[in-house]
Structure 1
Amino acid sequence: MMKSSQVRGIIFDMDNTLLRSSINFQIMKEQVADYLIEHDLLPVGFAIQEHTTSTMIAYVKAKGMPEESYTEVMKMVVQHELIGMEGAGLEPDVSELLDVLMKSYVLVIVTNNSYKAAVHALETTGIHPYFDLIIGREQMEAMKPSPSGYLAAKQHFPQILESEWISIGDSWIDGRASIDAGIPFISYGPNGHLMKEKGITPIANIDSLLKLLDYV
């Protein structure tokens, strides 16, 4: 087991790491892809299966996406988020974990969700008070897998050294963003094979959130 010598700041992904949301990411991605192909912003035959919604949007933006198209696409995304966040519950052991961590660590959330949707979900599930900072997509230069949200967290807490951060998430985009920001990453849940496919090497893979305590 690799244990960091000193951790002072912990960055969490939100969906399916802290919250068990019912956002249908596959349908959201297909709807966005259909729109982009229909408006000649994505080529027919684009390898949608290799992308998330955020990486697909980033690809199109890099090619010069019109502002009105971006606005339309983000409306679709917000709609899926709002529906999926209704009745969102907590992943197992979240409250117990946060009760322990809040006494000794700076706790941050970095999520591709909108800030408003994230805060609403965190307030509804009762865990909003545990966090020192919430970074939604509006607070990032680009969504994960861009490291910008993680870099923003580091800049917000300059008293925490580079070597004193750690992060946890369930998706390869969390791992890519964290590692590219220079933050060791712990993978949570069953997606270890996807991490490997994407060239991401977490310092650990855990199947229970309470096991995070072994690494801090």
Structure 2
Amino acid sequence: MYKSSHVRGIIFDMDNTLLRSKINFQMMKKQVADYLIDHDLLPVGFPIQEHTTSTMIEYVKANGMSEESYTEVMHMVVQHELIGMEGAGLESHVSELLKALMTGYVLVIVTNNSYKAAVQALETTGIHPYFDLIIGREQMEAMKPSPSGYLAAKQHFPHILESEWISIGDSWIDGRASVDAGVPFISYGLSGHLMKEKGISPVAHIDSLLKLLDYV
């Protein structure tokens, strides 16, 4: 079993890792894809099914998306996020886990959500005080699967050594971002097969958040 020699910092994904989000990711992705196709920003035959909303947006940005189109697309995304965060609950054992970790570790959230939507959801669910840093998409150079959010977290806490970080998330984009930032990644939930397809090798897989305690 993987066991880091000494973990001091833990980076969490938010949606469907800590929070049982009600964001309709499929509807959000379809609306964004339809807009990008209608505005000739995605090429014909673009493999939408292989992408998340964030990877589609990053693809188009890299290929010269206008500021106006980016603003319009992000407005759609924010609306889905705010609606989806209303009444979002916690994943099982989150409070128990955070209480066990809060005194011994630096706890960070890196999420593709807007900072505002993230803070609102964390305050509503009562877990905001457990975290030392929250990084939303505005605090990153690019959204996950870019490693920039994880790199920003590491830079924010220079007293924590490279080897003293670990991260956890439910999606392959969390895994890719974490691994590319040099942070060992633990996958949570049901996405194991997709990790493998995307060439990501988590150091461990857990189906209950409390099992994270075995690895720190």
Residue 18 of structure 2 is matched in structure 1 by 18
Q: Secondary structure at the match of 1:64?
A: coil
Q: CA deviation at 1:45?
A: 2.0
- Letter of the 1:123 partner, please give it: E
Distance 1:190 1:40 in 2: 35
Distance 1:92 1:30 in 2: 29
Distance 2:137 2:29 in 1: 17
Q: CA deviation at 1:44?
A: 2.5
Distance 1:93 1:136 in 2: 23
Distance 2:44 2:118 in 1: 33
Residue 206 of structure 2 is matched in structure 1 by 206
| Residues 1:131 and 2:131 are matched in the alignment | yes
Distance 1:193 1:127 in 2: 30
Distance 1:26 1:181 in 2: 27
Distance 2:212 2:93 in 1: 11
Residue 54 of structure 1 is matched in structure 2 by 54
Residue 140 of structure 2 is matched in structure 1 by 140
Distance 1:97 1:156 in 2: 23
Residue 29 of structure 1 is matched in structure 2 by 29
Distance 1:181 1:32 in 2: 28
Residue 108 of structure 1 is matched in structure 2 by 108
Residue 152 of structure 2 is matched in structure 1 by 152
Distance 2:34 2:168 in 1: 32
Shift >3 Å, 4+ stretches: none
Unaligned runs of at least 5 residues, structure 2: none
Distance 1:33 1:186 in 2: 30
- Letter of the 1:88 partner, please give it: A
Distance 1:41 1:159 in 2: 43
| Residues 1:64 and 2:64 are matched in the alignment | yes
Q: Please, what is the CA RMSD of the aligned residues?
A: 0.4
Identity of aligned residues (%): 88
Distance 1:82 1:52 in 2: 18
Residue 44 of structure 2 is matched in structure 1 by 44
Residue 6 of structure 2 is matched in structure 1 by 6
| Residues 1:194 and 2:182 are matched in the alignment | no
Q: Tell me how many residue pairs correspond in the alignment.
A: 216
Distance 1:27 1:35 in 2: 12
TM-score for the superposition, normalised by structure 1:
1.00
- Letter of the 1:155 partner, please give it: Q
Q: Secondary structure at the match of 2:44?
A: coil
Distance 2:190 2:50 in 1: 18
| Residues 1:120 and 2:114 are matched in the alignment | no
Distance 2:60 2:116 in 1: 25
Q: Secondary structure at the match of 1:173?
A: helix
Q: Secondary structure at the match of 1:187?
A: strand
Distance 1:208 1:119 in 2: 24
